Structure 1
Amino acid sequence: MQAVVAYTFATLDFVQTFPEEVRLMWGAPFGLPKVLFFAVRYSVLVNDVFCGLAGGFPTEYADKDCLGAWKRSAMTSVFIVVAAEAILFHRAYAFSGKRTGILVYIVAQFIAIHAAAFILMLKFFESSKFTKWDVSNIRICLQTQGSVTLLAGVFASFLASITVAMSIMVYAAIYEHREFNTRSPLLVTFYRDGIFYFISLAAFASVNIVIIWIAPAGYKFLLTQ
């Protein structure tokens, strides 16, 4: 049911915004922002399919196939978050005045944090175990084991990453763009969207960290997706 709701929402959003995508993005100059935009936008649809296949469609999954399906779902989820963070980092770099020093720092930090998150995720896969749960003749892959420390580390890495990117944007707002804040609607929109994304992802990461540590065994992975 969760996968059906997610895919319905993503499809509805895609259909509603597709005319704007054609108008604003198809003819835009080719570059990193355009690549990241399309990567995030279309990988959401792919991820929802993987989530559905991993969660609850009639199937004869063996235990190892449950893990394989879950890996595909988890890795596409991570890809979406990392690509979305790359957009935020690119925006922070642009707002900083495209300083070389900021670029070097951003790239180094982005690689270091996400390499660490990827390693933690792989180790979490190794610690995961699944069972098959039959509900109304539907066989569901149910995760029964996984290192909460490793998974909390993944979310903590994402939280640290976006906090740094947002800090750079706030610094630029205070010291680089003070005189433009009220005169540039585009700049205001960029900051508004960046802050909204930061608050959303930071809230989900923080809630996941808390739930992973304190929730009963059957609910530790409730909001990971």
Structure 2
Amino acid sequence: MDDYVVLMERETTIAYVEAASTAALLFDYCLTFDSEVRWTWGRKWGIVRIAFVISRYVPIATCIMYLYYMLESPRGRIPDPGRYIAINGTMSTFNAAAADVMLLARAQAFCGWGIKVLFATVLLSTAIIAVALTFIYVVTSKPSDAYGNFEGEKYLSIAYGLLMVYQLVLMSLILHKRFKFYRRESTPLVTNVYRDGVIYVLCIALASMVNCIGIAVLPQPYTFLFYSPQAVVHSVLSSRILFNLRETSEWWDDVEISFGTIFSRPIRFPSSVDHVELDIIDTAYL
């Protein structure tokens, strides 16, 4: 009887969280659909656009799949739970990676890193993805219990912790660049990229932190309670970074055309700093 009560409480709680996450994602999709049409449709395919499509649409599938698993696995209606969760976890990992690609593109546009720093950042991101996938496949290779939980799944908090560290590293690099080189610059492009690069990255990192703590601390039936909310935060904020940047880039181009050559000159930065407008616009239209 106690087990049945626990099972029903878990199903109800997860159903509410998953339904709320999916509703929030779809609601944001409706709000920003016109921005998606304007700023992404008809443009050439590149790394940033591919990352956008993944982070925009994959979370819808992962939320629905995870809700179905949590409701049906206790009833034995999932033929191969390990493979099902492995597929879902892989999709979620690539969704997080796609969102981080967009964050990295914004940070690169703002900071103008050299090849060594960029390579080190990409290498760190790749290592985190490899660690996350390894944990997923190792954990799901073991049989699940009556509640659909896997032995050792709490170790997945390490992967989310590494993801949080990576996002905080990006934020720290953006802060360093802002206060060292762009302290006196207040152009819309600089302000936009700085705001997106700090506030949004901080929110995404906090979502990773909450999920990491939830996996490590919550009792096993509720281990992945914040799994879908984090995916929603990744999707919503990374998409808005792209929309806001492209909107600001177009506005800046219109200002230059309207007011003539006085505004068409690039902002004067110290000799050691690249022109941020060119870097941002080039990155935004990949």
Query: Normalising by the residue count of structure 1, what TM-score does the alignment of the two structures yield?
Result: 0.80
Q: Amino acid of the residue matched to residue 209 of structure 2?
A: S
Are 1:93 and 1:102, in contact at CA under 8 Å, matched by a contact in 2?
A: no
SS at match of 2:149: strand
1:190 to 1:127, Cα distance in 2 relative to 1, 3 A = farther
Runs of 4 or more, structure 1, over 6 Å off, are none
Unaligned runs of 5+ in 2: 1-14, 229-286
Higher relative contact order, structure no. (Cα contacts within 8 Å, ≥ 6 residues apart): 2
Give CA deviations for 1:14-51 in whole Å, capped at 9, x if unaligned: 12211111112214444222221122112122223322
| Aligned partner (choices 172, 175, 194) of residue 170 of structure 1 | 175
| Aligned partner (choices 115, 118, 124) of residue 139 of structure 2 | 124
More strand by share: 1
- The structure that has the greater radius of gyration is 2
Matched, 1:207 2:210: yes
**Stretch of structure 1 that moved more, 39-48 or 2-11:** 2-11
SS at match of 1:6: helix
Matched, 1:188 2:180: no
| Residues in 2 aligned to 1:3 and 1:224: alpha-carbon distance in whole angstroms | 9
| Residues in 1 aligned to 2:179 and 2:117: alpha-carbon distance in whole angstroms | 16
1:148 to 1:30, Cα distance in 2 relative to 1, 3 A = closer
Are 2:157 and 2:211, in contact at CA under 8 Å, matched by a contact in 1?
A: yes
| Residues in 2 aligned to 1:123 and 1:67: alpha-carbon distance in whole angstroms | 10
1:66 to 1:88, Cα distance in 2 relative to 1, 3 A = same
Identity level (%)? 23
The root-mean-square deviation of aligned C-alpha atoms, in Å, is 2.6
1:7-22 equivalences under 5 Å are: 7-22=22-37
| Residues in 2 aligned to 1:208 and 1:59: alpha-carbon distance in whole angstroms | 23
Are 1:50 and 1:72, in contact at CA under 8 Å, matched by a contact in 2?
A: no
| Residues in 1 aligned to 2:220 and 2:123: alpha-carbon distance in whole angstroms | 37
Number of corresponding residues: 213
Query: Normalising by the residue count of structure 2, what TM-score does the alignment of the two structures yield?
Result: 0.65
Unaligned runs of 5+ in 1: 132-141
